[in-house]
């Protein structure tokens, strides 16, 4: 076969694709692997959401292609959520675009807006799609370190002016994957000002905005005055409503940016399956109280993980949101070496921080997407390994 397109060259192997093969081999050999690596909720969505999906699938006409931008009912449900949580009013035709999961939107928005040679400002460590999408578009990622001493917020003032002037996009993600850090309204206000000064699009990925603990309510970027002129926010039902496999997300905000994203989408996909549109609308508009109970389950898991890490002498901050605990590898262990050790000796799978960027080195990400008993066992296995290296 002739070689693949040149634009594929900068894309590396996908960490999880490789890990999945590895784990399948360990399981085939009889290993009982505990996976605390992926950020995929283990609990199901609320029963009423699944009922709407099933009912909708029984309507013969619901198996046809659907409008590219979903149903007005779904867009209204997203608008309702933004109004309820943040007191933001969105135009349901021009400021809301349903996505096949937010990842699709992160990737395609980059294709729509980034020319070869343009700079894309990307946090380090970060969800990998921001940089990979930039590379695929021929853009140049400029990595903004997220450091513990800065509460994992990028220092926008440290970005050289000539880099900022060439930048087309600036990515932010709070509550953050992988560090679980959060950002304040003041930080977002500075970022809006920075975007205005340098005429770039501020893209905020709010995937974890509703996975929160102890009454923490993260701000939306769009609450900031002027954000609508320079910003887009991505949201998703994957984590908030335990619907990762459904592929139901949204982009909201700046109209020109959404129109450009839609232009890519109409050529790349043909919308959602109608029952997913209907059930997504039900998820957003229906009873939200169950999120409180679900978040309480995560909080209890978080407590177990933090307590056991503390007993092992491994340092972690207490996350106010997300599915993750970001903790320091034992002294003198690289994140990859320690993750390897855990997988080999304890059949325990975590993500080495360095896969998220060079500033993730020295940390691991543990996803508490497993029942309490399984988490307890995972932490016991980890403690056993840590004892052997002391
Ligand atoms: N953004 C962040 C920060 C994520 O961690 C993830 C998934 O792990 C996504 C986006 C993608 O979510 P979705 O399932 O909506 O594509």
The DSSP result for 145-213, as a single string, is E--GGGTT---GGGS-HHHHHHEEEEEE-SS-TTT-----HHHHHHHHHHHHHHT-EEEEE-TTTT-B-
Beta bridge partners of 106: none
pLDDT digits (tens, 9 = 90+) for 16-50: 888 999 999 999 999 999 999 999 999 999 999 99
Q: Is 202 in contact with 172 (CB distance < 8 Å)?
A: yes
Pair 133, 242 in one domain: yes
Pair 174, 322 in one domain: no
DSSP 240-282: HTS-GGG--EEEEE-HHHHHHHHHHHHHH-----HHHHHHHHH
Quick one: what percent of the chain has pLDDT higher than 90? 96
User: Tokens in use for 159?
Assistant: 């970005």
pLDDT digits (tens, 9 = 90+) for 346-385: 999 999 999 999 999 999 999 999 999 999 999 999 999 9
Assess if residue 95 is contained within a domain: yes
- pLDDT score at 186: 98
**How many angstroms does the Cα of residue 117 sit away from the middle of ligand 1?**
26
- pLDDT score at 110: 98
Of 171, 184, 252, nearest to 219 by C-alpha is 184
Q: 242 — alpha (psi -120 to 50), left (phi > 0) or beta? A: left
- pLDDT score at 73: 98
pLDDT at residue 290 is higher than 90: yes
Own/partner pairs, 58-63, CB within 8 angstroms, 24+ separation? 59/274, 62/274, 62/275, 62/278, 63/273, 63/274
Using a 6 Å cutoff on CB, does residue 206 contact ligand 1? Answer: no
- Classify the C-alpha dihedral 149-154-160-163 as positive or negative: positive
Residue 254 is part of a domain; what is its CATH number? 3.40.640.10
Residue 40 is part of a domain; what is its CATH number? 3.90.1150.10
- pLDDT score at 390: 79
Pair 210, 356 in one domain: no
Assess if residue 196 is contained within a domain: yes
Total number of domains in the chain: 2
Assess if residue 80 is contained within a domain: yes
Instruction: Say if pTM beats, i.e. exceeds, 0.85.
Output: yes
- pLDDT score at 15: 86
The number of C-alpha atoms within 13 Å of 72 and in the hemisphere containing its C-beta is: 2
- Tell me the Cα Rg of the chain: 21
**How many angstroms does the Cα of residue 16 sit away from the middle of ligand 1?**
13
**How many angstroms does the Cα of residue 123 sit away from the middle of ligand 1?**
15
Pair 30, 137 in one domain: no
Of 382, 136, 108, nearest to 232 by C-alpha is 108
Query: What is the mean pLDDT of the segment spanning 163-172?
Result: 98
Pair 338, 376 in one domain: yes
- Split at pLDDT 50, 70, 90, the class of 14 is confident
Q: What span, in angstroms and rounded, lies between the C-alpha atoms of 234 and 97?
A: 10
Query: What is the mean pLDDT of the segment spanning 183-207?
Result: 98
Pair 115, 217 in one domain: yes
Tell me which residue has its CA closest to atom 5 in ligand 1: 177
Pair 11, 23 in one domain: yes
Note down the domain range covering 249: 47-285
| Domain edge (last residue) among 242, 259, 285 | 285
Assess if residue 209 is contained within a domain: yes
- pLDDT score at 251: 98
Quick one: what percent of the chain has pLDDT higher than 70? 100
**How many angstroms does the Cα of residue 175 sit away from the middle of ligand 1?**
12
Pair 55, 177 in one domain: yes
Assess if residue 1 is contained within a domain: no
Burial 162-200 (b: 16+ CB within 10 A, else e): eebebbbbbbbbbbbbbbbbbbeeebbbbbbebbeebeb
**How many angstroms does the Cα of residue 102 sit away from the middle of ligand 1?**
6
Q: What span, in angstroms and rounded, lies between the C-alpha atoms of 55 and 285?
A: 17
| Domain edge (last residue) among 285, 310, 345 | 285
pLDDT digits (tens, 9 = 90+) for 251-273: 999 999 999 999 999 999 999 99
Pair 95, 230 in one domain: yes
| Domain edge (last residue) among 238, 267, 285 | 285
Across the chain, what does the average pLDDT equal? 97
pLDDT at residue 12 is higher than 90: no
- pLDDT score at 220: 98
Using a 6 Å cutoff on CB, does residue 205 contact ligand 1? Answer: yes
Which atom of ligand 1 sits closest to the CA of residue 177?
A: 3
pLDDT digits (tens, 9 = 90+) for 150-165: 999 999 999 999 999 9
Assess if residue 112 is contained within a domain: yes
- pLDDT score at 18: 86
Pair 144, 79 in one domain: yes
Write down the residue that tokens 């992988």 correspond to. Answer: 178
Q: How many CB atoms lie within 10 A of CB 63?
A: 12
Using a 6 Å cutoff on CB, does residue 236 contact ligand 1? Answer: yes
Q: What span, in angstroms and rounded, lies between the C-alpha atoms of 121 and 107?
A: 14
Which atom of ligand 1 sits closest to the CA of residue 102?
A: 15
DSSP 199-223: T-EEEEE-TTTT-B-TT--PPPGGG
The number of C-alpha atoms within 13 Å of 30 and in the hemisphere containing its C-beta is: 0
Q: What span, in angstroms and rounded, lies between the C-alpha atoms of 339 and 361?
A: 12
Pair 119, 166 in one domain: yes
Assess if residue 144 is contained within a domain: yes
Query: What is the mean pLDDT of the segment spanning 225-229?
Result: 98
Q: Is 121 in contact with 170 (CB distance < 8 Å)?
A: yes
Assess if residue 110 is contained within a domain: yes
Pair 255, 354 in one domain: no
Q: What span, in angstroms and rounded, lies between the C-alpha atoms of 76 and 385?
A: 51
């Amino acid at each position: 076969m002739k070689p693949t397109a040149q634009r594929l060259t900068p894309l590396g192997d996908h960490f999880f694709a490789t890990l999945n093969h590895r784990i399948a081999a360990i399981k085939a050999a009889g290993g009982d692997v505990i996976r605390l690596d992926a950020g995929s909720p283990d609990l199901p969505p609320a029963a009423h959401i699944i009922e709407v999906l099933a009912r909708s699938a029984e309507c013969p006409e619901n198996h046809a292609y659907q409008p590219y931008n979903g149903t007005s009912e779904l867009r209204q449900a997203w608008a309702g959520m933004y109004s309820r949580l943040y007191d933001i009013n969105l135009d349901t035709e021009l400021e809301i675009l349903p996505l096949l999961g937010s990842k699709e939107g992160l990737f395609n928005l980059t294709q729509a807006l980034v020319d070869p040679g343009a700079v894309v400002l990307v946090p380090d460590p970060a969800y990998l799609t921001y940089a990979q999408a930039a590379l695929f578009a021929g853009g140049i990622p400029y990595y903004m370190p997220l450091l513990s001493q800065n509460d994992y917020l990028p220092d926008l003032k440290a970005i050289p002016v000539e880099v900022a002037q060439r930048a087309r996009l600036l990515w932010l993600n709070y509550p953050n994957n992988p560090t679980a850090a959060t950002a304040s309204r003041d930080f977002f206000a500075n970022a809006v000002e920075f975007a205005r000064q340098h005429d770039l699009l501020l893209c905020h990925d709010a995937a974890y905005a509703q996975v929160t603990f102890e009454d923490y309510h993260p701000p939306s970027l769009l609450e900031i005055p002027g954000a609508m002129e320079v910003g887009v926010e991505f949201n998703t039902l994957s984590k908030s409503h335990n619907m990762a496999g459904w592929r139901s997300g949204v982009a909201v905000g700046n109209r020109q940016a959404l129109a450009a994203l839609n232009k890519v989408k109409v050529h790349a996909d043909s919308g959602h399956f109608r029952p997913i549109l209907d059930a997504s609308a039900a998820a957003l508009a229906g009873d939200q109280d169950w999120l409180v109970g679900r978040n309480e389950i995560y909080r209890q898991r978080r407590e177990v993980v933090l307590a056991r890490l503390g007993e092992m002498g491994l340092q972690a901050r207490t996350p106010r949101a997300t599915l993750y605990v970001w903790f320091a590898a034992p002294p003198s262990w690289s994140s990859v070496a320690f993750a390897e050790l855990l997988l080999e000796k304890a059949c325990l799978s975590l993500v080495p921080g360095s896969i998220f960027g060079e500033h993730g080195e020295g940390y691991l990400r543990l996803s508490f997407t497993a029942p309490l008993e399984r988490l307890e066992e995972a932490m016991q296995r980890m403690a056993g390994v840590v004892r052997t290296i002391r």
